[in-house]
Structure 1
Amino acid sequence: MGAARIIEQYLCYCKEMCSDFEPLGESSLFTILETCKASTRKSLQGINYFAAEGGEAFDGIKNMIEEKATLSSNSDRLIENLKRARFYLKSDYKVHVTRSSNIADHCCIYALSDHKKSDFAQNCEHEHDESCTECSNLTSTLNEIERLIEETETDKELLDRALKKFRSYRESIEAWKAHLLRSINRDLCREKLLDTLSNDEIYLNLDWAMKFLPVKSREPQSEFFGKRGISWHITVVIKNDANV
C-alpha cells in the first residue's frame, strides 16, 4: 500500500471516529512513513482464525480459477477482482462500517439485527438505498466464479466436489467479513460505555491473552509436540478520574 493511500485512510478514520481530533499534517505523516516504512507481514502467529480461514479461502479460490485458466478468457480479470476484494476487507472495509449507514453492508444496526426475532432486531431510521462498489465487487466476483465452475466442469461428480469446495471457501470469506463488522460494533459499544462512565464506576475488560508453552533447554521431539501449555487471562480496569 502506498504512503498516500495509508495517509488517506488514516485521515478518513480520524474524521469518522473522532471529528474534533486534529491529526498531524500530511507532510509530517509522509515524513513518519518515510522513516518507519509500512511493510507487508509475511509470517503471522496467533492470528484470528476468521482472518486466517478467510485468507486461505481467497488463496483456494484463486487456485481454482488458475486451474480453469485455459478454459476461460476471464480468469485474469477474476483473479484481479479477487485480490481487490481481499485488500478491501483487510483495509478500507473497517473504516467504512458505522453504527448507521445508508449502505446495508456498512450498517451495524441492519446487519446485526435478527429479522426473525423482534427481541434481537432494531429498525433503522433510514433507507438502505445506496451501495458500496467494493462490497458489490466481492459479491459479483464470487457469483461469477461459481458460474465459471458450473460452465467449465463437465463431470457431474467433479462438479459437485468443486462447488462444495468453492462454497466452503465462500462461507469462510463471508464469515470473515461478518466478524469484522461485529468487531467494529463491539468497539463502538466499548467507546460509548467509556464516554458515559461515571466517577463511581469502573470498566472491566477480561480477555484471553496467550498461552505459555513450557520449554526445556534440551527437548526431544516427543516432548515438543502436543504441549498443553498454560492459558493466560488478563483483566484491564478503566476508571474515570474527574481530577484528570
Structure 2
Amino acid sequence: MCSDFEPLGKSSLFTILDACKASTRKSLQGINYFAAEAGEAFDGIRKMIEDKVALHNDSARLIENLKRARFYLKSDYKVHVARSSNIADHCCVYALSDPEKRDFAQDCDHEHNESCAECSNLTRTLNEIERLLEETEEDEELLHRTLKKFRSYREAIEAWKAHLLRSINQDLCRENLLDKLSNDEIYLNLDWAMKFLPIKSREPQSEFFGKRGI
C-alpha cells in the first residue's frame, strides 16, 4: 500500500455508496420459461418482418409497435391487472373463468365495456403482421411454413401474458390471506431452494434440466 495514499473521507464514501447502491441480480434460469419463450418469440417475429422485403414499407412501424407491446407486458400490464375490471384483458375473474365448465367459472358483477390501448396494440399488431404475411407470400408451401412459425410465436406471447395474469391473481390471493390472519395464526410459505451454475440470464426449462450444480 502506498504510504502517501489518502483515502476519501467517510462522508464522501457514504455519498458514493448512497448514489451507487448495491443491487441483487436474480437469475431466471429454469423458473419463468414463459418469459424466455416470449422473448424469443418477439425477436423471431421481428426477424420475420426484417427479412420480408415486401413488408419494407411497414417494417419500422410494426417493429416499433412490437417493442411497445413487449415493454408494456414487462412493466405496466402487471399494475393494470385487478381482481375486477371493466377491461376484459385486465379482469382476473373473467380471464380465469372456464367458458365451458360452470364449476370453474364465476360471473362478473360488471360489464367489460372498456378497452386497453396497449393490449389492443398487441392484438392489432399481431393480426396485421399475420394478414400481411398472407397477402405478400405467393408460394403456398412457404406460406404454410411461415404462418406456422408465426402462430407458434404468437402462442408464446399470449401464453406469457396469461402467465402474468395468473401470477398476479396468485399474489392477490396471498395478500388476501395475510390480511385475514388473526393474532394466533401464521402464514407459512414452503418452496424449493435450488443451487445451480448460472449460464445466462434467461433460459427455457428445456435447457435448465440436466445441468451440473443442481
Is the strand fraction higher in 1 or 2? 1
Structure 1 residue 88 and structure 2 residue 65: aligned? no
1:104 is the counterpart of 2:74: no
User: Are 1:50 and 2:34 matched, yes or no?
Assistant: yes
Residue 165 of structure 2 corresponds to 181
| 1:7-46 matches, cutoff 5 A | 35=19, 45-46=28-29
Q: Partners of 2:28 and 2:114 in 1: how far apart?
A: 38
Paired with 2:160 and 2:55, the residues of 1 have a C-alpha distance of 30
CA-based RMSD: 2.4
What are the equivalent positions in structure 2 for 1:153-232 lying under 5 Å apart? Answer: 153-212=137-196, 226-227=210-211, 229-230=213-214
Q: Residue 114 and residue 66 in structure 1: after superposition, are their counterparts in 2 closer, same or farther (change >3 A)?
A: same
Shift of residue 180, structure 1, vs aligned partner: 0.4
Any runs of at least 4 consecutive aligned residues in structure 1 with deviations exceeding 3 A, and if so which?
34-37, 69-72, 226-230
Asked whether the 8 Å contact 2:94–2:108 carries over to 1, the reply is: yes
TM-score (norm 2): 0.79
Give unpaired runs (5+ residues) of structure 1.
Answer: 1-33, 214-225, 231-244
Q: Secondary structure at the match of 2:128?
A: helix
Which of 49, 65, 78 is the equivalent residue of 2:49?
Answer: 65
What's the % identity of the aligned pairs?
81
Q: Please state how far the C-alpha of 1:106 moved relative to its aligned partner.
A: 0.3
Could you tell me the TM-score, scaled by structure 1's length? 0.69
Q: Secondary structure at the match of 1:142?
A: helix
Specify which of 37, 61, 66 is matched with residue 77 of structure 1.
Answer: 61
Note closer, same or farther for the CA distance 1:124–1:149 as it changes in structure 2 (3 Å cut): same
SS of the equivalent of 1:205 reads coil
Aligned-residue offset at 1:199:
2.5
Query: Does the 8 Å contact 2:49/2:55 carry over to 1?
Result: no
Deviation at 1:115, TM superposition (A): 1.7
Name which structure has the greater RCO, CA cutoff 8 Å, separation 6+. 2
In 2 relative to 1, CA 159–179 (structure 1 residues): closer, same or farther, beyond 3 Å? same
Aligned residues: 183
Are the equivalent residues in 2 in contact too, given 1:105–1:135 (CA < 8 A)?
yes
The residue that corresponds to 2:128 in the other structure is 144
SS at the partner of 1:206? coil
